[in-house]
């Protein structure tokens, strides 16, 4: 049987969500309607999304030995994620974020990485971590050194690596050739050297531009849809499903989790993108 586990090396954040009529401008104090805690971090969200989509999901990362860390670990387990390789670090606070959601469902957030910046790179050499893994997921909320070490181990084990390059930052020259699939949104694509993305046509141009450096590229364009270039140099575009948006927060992570679960089931990149787009549409139209 083919390896059936998604390994996510990534971030875990205790999210504090604030609902308000609008996002505050510089120097403005906006009045919110309510706040609530939420499990988060791109890594954690993607691991849970992969499990929800039917894949065996395993998480590597770090939390603090605090109440936030307890909450995050419980949420991973409740979401069907193997948390044996999530370390609890004393004297270092768990990662957290504050996100503000406006009346239209758009959001802005600030993260404090905390324990995520102190994950033990040497622990990535543990052979048990890689048992039955068929796909590695990385994001840019972890240090570049951690991502490089994880991708290097994946290459040694013959495992594909998907990088969700969010938030956007310069990637090391050593990491780029280890990435098999790059997933970025419009802003991230532009910050990585593509022209501005405003529609599916420009998303396709961005994907082709980034395909000069990466084997496969997916550029998501929000409510417009996505464009991709496959390892076989096939290019395609998929319009987004039309739904009533409640909140876009976490939609990208829902997309990544469903995408990777579909790829592990043997779907083509196009088929996996269709499945992932549907999962993202359900996510944005549902209050979580």
CATH classification of the domain holding 93: 3.40.1190.20
Helices within 96-214 (DSSP H only): 144-156, 186-191, 200-210
Residue 101 has pLDDT above 70, yes or no: yes
Is pLDDT larger for residue 251 or for residue 203?
Answer: 203
Average pLDDT over residues 124-153: 97
Residue 1 has pLDDT above 60, yes or no: no
Helices within 126-233 (DSSP H only): 144-156, 186-191, 200-210
Average pLDDT over residues 18-36: 93
Angle of CA points 24, 284, 46, to nearest 5°: 95
Comparing 7-21, 167-181, 241-255, which segment has the lowest mean pLDDT? Answer: 241-255
Q: Quick one: CA dihedral 276, 279, 285, 288, positive or negative?
A: negative
Percent of the chain scoring above 90 in pLDDT: 83
Contacts of 22 (CB under 8 A, 6+ apart): 30, 102, 103
Average pLDDT over residues 169-189: 95
Q: Closest by alpha carbon to 136, among 260, 274, 265?
A: 260
Residue 288 has pLDDT above 60, yes or no: no
- The overall pTM is greater than 0.85: yes
Q: Output the pLDDT for position 8.
A: 98
Q: Output the pLDDT for position 248.
A: 62
Structural domain harbouring 139:
5-284
C-alpha 160: how far from chain center: 16
Beta carbons of 277 and 226 less than 8 angstroms apart: yes
SS3 279: helix
Domains of the chain: total: 1
pLDDT confidence tier of residue 66, bands split at 50, 70 and 90: very high
Is pLDDT larger for residue 222 or for residue 213?
Answer: 213
């Amino acid at each position: 049987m083919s390896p059936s586990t998604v390994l996510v090396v990534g971030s875990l954040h205790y999210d504090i969500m604030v609902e308000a009529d609008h996002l505050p401008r510089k120097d403005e104090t906006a009045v919110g309607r309510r706040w609530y805690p939420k499990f988060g971090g791109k890594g954690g969200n993607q691991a849970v999304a992969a499990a929800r989509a039917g894949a065996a999901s395993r998480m590597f990362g770090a939390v603090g030995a605090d109440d936030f860390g307890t909450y995050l670990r419980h949420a991973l387990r409740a979401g069907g994620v193997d948390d044996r390789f999530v370390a609890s670090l004393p004297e270092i606070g768990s990662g957290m974020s504050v996100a503000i959601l406006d009346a239209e469902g758009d959001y802005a957030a600030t993260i404090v990485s905390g324990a995520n910046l102190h994950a033990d790179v040497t622990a990535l050499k543990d052979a048990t971590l890689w048992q039955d893994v068929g796909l590695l997921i990385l994001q840019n909320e972890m240090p570049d050194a951690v991502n490089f070490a994880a991708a290097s181990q994946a290459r040694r084990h013959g495992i594909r690596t998907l990088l969700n390059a969010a938030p956007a930052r310069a990637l090391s020259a050593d990491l780029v050739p280890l990435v098999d699939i790059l997933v970025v949104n419009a802003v991230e694509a532009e910050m990585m050297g593509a022209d501005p993305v405003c529609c599916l046509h420009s998303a396709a141009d961005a994907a082709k531009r980034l395909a000069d450096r990466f084997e496969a590229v997916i550029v998501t364009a929000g409510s417009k849809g996505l464009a991709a270039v496959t390892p076989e140099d096939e290019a395609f575009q998929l319009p987004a499903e039309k739904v009533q948006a409640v909140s876009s927060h976490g939609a990208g992570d829902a997309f990544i989790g469903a995408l990777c679960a579909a790829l592990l089931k043997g779907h083509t990149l196009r088929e996996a993108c269709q499945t992932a787009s549907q999962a993202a549409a359900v996510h944005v139209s549902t209050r979580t």
